[in-house]
Amino acid sequence: MTRSDVEFLSNGTRCAAWLFRPVDAIAPLPCVVMAHGFSAVREQRLDAYAERFTQAGMAVLLFDYRHFGASDGAPRQLLSIRRQLQDWHAAIAYARRLPDIDPRRIALFGSSLSGGHVLTMASRDPAIAAVVAQVPMCDGLRNLPPLGLAHLTRLTLAGLYDAARALIGLSPFYIAAAGDPGSWSAMAAPDALPWFQSVTPEGSTWVNRVCARIALLYGTYRPIAGVRRIECPTLYCIGEHDLHLAPAHLAHTAAGRTPQAEVKTYPCGHFGLYTGPLWEEAVADQTKFLARNLL
């Protein structure tokens, strides 16, 4: 297996990526395009998934969004769903242009927020060959009530303040991406910050903050609205104890509307599939699914 640094442009801004290739594989190769969830960057365990997929004979393109990680973009830590979907479009187009990649065998892998992104992209691109959506964010509108009125109020106030500063040309107002319950953070859950701390290697590009304006638009993002249009096999990996960040029942609803859905469930919360025995189980399920549909 080899890993090389590559880059592509998304609306004129450089996105940094790693391209994984299996050794001695016969071209053209299938390719899995991957990116992380809310505020996370590629070195926070997605490289481990990429290595497993590559060992099975697939190439992998793993990228950071604009404004995050090793990619360019100002202001930093700006989480724009519209821009992230543009980055997915650019990454897929880049993968399809690579000389040793089969453009007809492009699969998508996303987790958490990017689990919603891959559902959205597949609903728009009938040429996608397969999708893996791990603990996917499926319905921002229905995801808001479990967060609680007090937390939603804090996020809305912060979002309005950040948006007002942006309108008059001031620097962003940031909130923590992950924090303790009751804090001014986007993910105020007991297991959120400990998870980020446990998977962030020394020298990582991850920063625990986001521009607060994302709070004003998160509820309008509803990948579930387009899943009936997905034409390719789609694997949903659902943490059955995920109650707040990407509620399991919403993922089950989305899977029920997806024409070629397969569902795997695991006894864990939102962050339980990234490490340990459940990661081994989930990545094995995902690798088998991708190999069956790409190789």
Q: Can you give the pLDDT of all 295 residues of the chain as single tens digits?
A: 999 999 999 999 999 999 999 998 888 999 999 999 999 999 999 999 999 999 999 999 999 999 999 999 999 999 999 999 999 999 999 999 999 999 999 999 999 999 999 999 999 999 999 999 999 999 999 988 888 899 999 999 999 999 999 999 999 999 999 999 988 899 999 999 999 999 999 999 999 999 999 999 999 999 999 999 999 999 999 999 999 899 999 999 999 999 999 999 999 999 999 999 999 999 999 999 999 999 9
Domain CATH number, residue 75:
3.40.50.1820
Would residue 11 count as lying in a domain? Answer: yes
Number of domains in the chain: 1
pLDDT score, position 184: 86
Give the N- to C-terminal CA distance of the chain in Å, as an integer.
Answer: 17
How far, in Å, are 98, 111, 206 from residue 221 at the CA level? 31, 15, 24
Quote the domain boundaries for residue 118.
2-145+221-294
Query: Tokens 């893996």 identify what position?
Result: 132
Q: ∠ at Cα 129 (232, 285), nearest 5°?
A: 80
Both structure tokens of 50: 């990429």
Would residue 65 count as lying in a domain? Answer: yes
Stated as kind and residue range, the H or E segment containing 34 is strand 29-35
Q: 0.85 exceeded by the pTM?
A: yes
Angle between helices 46-55 and 276-294 (to 10 degrees): 40
pLDDT score, position 146: 82
Residues in the chain: 295
Would residue 56 count as lying in a domain? Answer: yes
Would residue 136 count as lying in a domain? Answer: yes
pLDDT score, position 41: 98
Would residue 150 count as lying in a domain? Answer: no
pLDDT score, position 144: 87
- What single-letter DSSP state applies at residue 204? -
Q: Are 26 and 295 in contact (CB under 8 A)?
A: no
Would residue 176 count as lying in a domain? Answer: no
Would residue 35 count as lying in a domain? Answer: yes
Distance CA 7, CA 18 (A): 8
Would residue 54 count as lying in a domain? Answer: yes
